[in-house]
Amino acid sequence: MAGRNIWGLKQLYRHLPCKRRNFEAIFRRCASTSSQVHENCKVSLLKKLNAKIPEESDNVCIYRVPAKLRQVEAKAYDPSIVSIGPYHRGDQHLKEMEELKLKFFHRVFKSKQKHEVEVERVISAMEELEPKARSCYADDVKLSRDEFVEMMIIDGCFVLQLMREVSGCCSSSSLVQRWMLPTLRRDLIKLENQLPMLVLHKLFDLIDDGSQCEYSTLSLQDLALKFFKPLLQRDSNMNAAGATTKMNTLKEEIRTCHFLDLFRSSILPEIQDQDRKRQAHMIQSITELKEAGVMLKKSESDRALDVRSKGKVLTIPPLHIDDHRGTLFRNMVAFEQCHKNCKPDATAYLFFFNGLVNSANDVEILHYKGIVHHSLGSNKEAAKLVNKLCKEVDWDGEESYLHKVVCDDIDVYFKSTRAKLRARLVHYYFSNWVVGISTVAGLFALYLTLIQTGCGVAGTLMPLKEHSFWWYLSDSFSLLFSRPSTPLQDSKVSNQE
């Protein structure tokens, strides 16, 4: 046994130098690897530091929708039937409309006597605009120059010819079926599905159909707003062209980037920069405001976001909700979230409306006042849609154009003692007709009780003239200690005897 242990010790001793050498080799290899990693990292970082990073263009105005917004309702941002621009070009479910776009392209040029000359003129103009138009897209456009120019011409001609035919500028029979038109309007207003306005302006000037209809003199902005007006279902007496002229007169220095920006600018109120202040909190719900005595009024303004207030009177333009995805407002908010030169006015309006609507009852009140109209089946669905529009949207309340409405007028009145007292009375005693009837019945019973009590007190005034009230009180207490009096019948019998 001892011999075996000695033999094991000898074997262990023989392997120790070998293991020591292995450890030393591993240590040297680790040191060498660490040094190599350091050098490789240094070279890579210096290479990146010295590389020329392309600067962001000031022309960028067409963006990919942020992932956190897309995950809430992706279909609100993706085109349904037609692709405009490079972002969704080639999508499988949009290829059927490519043939229709070519038919519109034929209609633009085939009617001209020298259509080859016209096409060459348009191509030359688009080639000059190609670098500037490409810089309008935030993401890198993976199209060659020829492909990009062809895309601008075909897509631009389709959009312009479609708007002309829908507005009645062209006498050609429409190639668009009835079910397509509402979907096309929503597709052409989406942020990722845009052509730069400078491209459309150039094409609009180059392509003259020579028609003499009443709408042929409309500018591109007027034609576009006339086409997109049904998205908000404005009243027929509201003139989109007049709204555009007013907008251009007041904001000559501001040029719209694309159709979405144009439509957004047309529904904004006239806001001065000094009127924008921080809005610390959202407005209370319609139910709470009504309980406190705030009066709702339907506005006659043709600008959907023109919310005003005066004291306890809140004036709101009518809002039509006919899309279960809220496509228009979602894309306007996405544009404001991405574009650095854009004030978050549509975002502020959505948060304002989100504060107003907390339940189906709030939608019912707004519908009764003629402010909210929807085709979503129930008020509950409309309330869900409004509350969902602000999901995953970041807004810190800075530069809110609704600061005066929320903080200076409605909030000041809502926090007054009179408004708080009225709100409590309405909430606890007049919240609905059943509670209201019970409250009135209780008050009426209390009133009758008071009358009865008053009559009883009045009946005791005559005896009090003979003796004082304290005399009656002392006499009442003396009854507790006095002997019972003789019954009345016994006294009568004794008297007879």
Do 329 and 407 share a structural domain?
Answer: yes
Do 191 and 79 share a structural domain?
Answer: yes
pLDDT of residue 341: 84
Do 409 and 441 share a structural domain?
Answer: no
pLDDT of residue 165: 87
- Please, what's the b/e burial string for 6-39 (b: 16 or more CB within 10 A of its CB; e: otherwise)? eeeeeeeeeeeeeeeeeeeeeeeeeeeeeeeeee
Within-domain flag for 483: no
pLDDT of residue 252: 37
pLDDT of residue 126: 96
Which of these three, 177, 192, 218, is where a domain ends? 218
Which of these three, 199, 218, 237, is where a domain ends? 218
Which of these three, 374, 406, 429, is where a domain ends? 429
Do 307 and 449 share a structural domain?
Answer: no
Within-domain flag for 493: no
Within-domain flag for 389: yes
Do 176 and 201 share a structural domain?
Answer: yes
- Report which of 235, 233, 154, 167 is spatially closest to residue 199, judged by C-alpha positions: 154
Do 72 and 210 share a structural domain?
Answer: yes
Within-domain flag for 297: yes
Do 143 and 110 share a structural domain?
Answer: yes
Within-domain flag for 83: yes
Do 448 and 417 share a structural domain?
Answer: no
pLDDT of residue 453: 76
pLDDT of residue 438: 72
Within-domain flag for 363: yes
Distance between CA atoms of 488 and 174, rounded to whole angstroms?
Answer: 111
Query: Could you give phi then psi for residue 309, rounded to 5 degrees?
Result: -150, 155
pLDDT of residue 448: 76
Dump pLDDT digits (tens) for 276-327: 888 888 899 999 999 999 999 999 888 899 999 998 999 999 998 888 889 9
CB atoms inside a 10 Å sphere around CB 391: 12
Domain of residue 195, residue span? 67-218
Total domains in the chain come to 3
Do 459 and 403 share a structural domain?
Answer: no
Within-domain flag for 258: no
Q: What is the dihedral of CA 423, 424, 430, 436, to 10 degrees?
A: -150
Do 449 and 404 share a structural domain?
Answer: no
Place of tokens 């049904």: 230
Do 456 and 385 share a structural domain?
Answer: no
Dump pLDDT digits (tens) for 161-203: 999 888 876 656 678 888 899 999 999 999 999 999 999 999 9
Report yes or no on whether pTM surpasses 0.85.
no
Within-domain flag for 113: yes
Do 320 and 301 share a structural domain?
Answer: yes
Average pLDDT across each block of 10 residues of the chain; the chain has 497 residues. List them in order.
Answer: 51 52 57 71 81 74 95 95 95 92 88 73 94 94 94 96 82 76 95 96 82 66 92 58 46 71 92 81 92 92 90 92 90 95 92 94 94 90 93 88 91 90 76 67 76 70 63 67 59 50
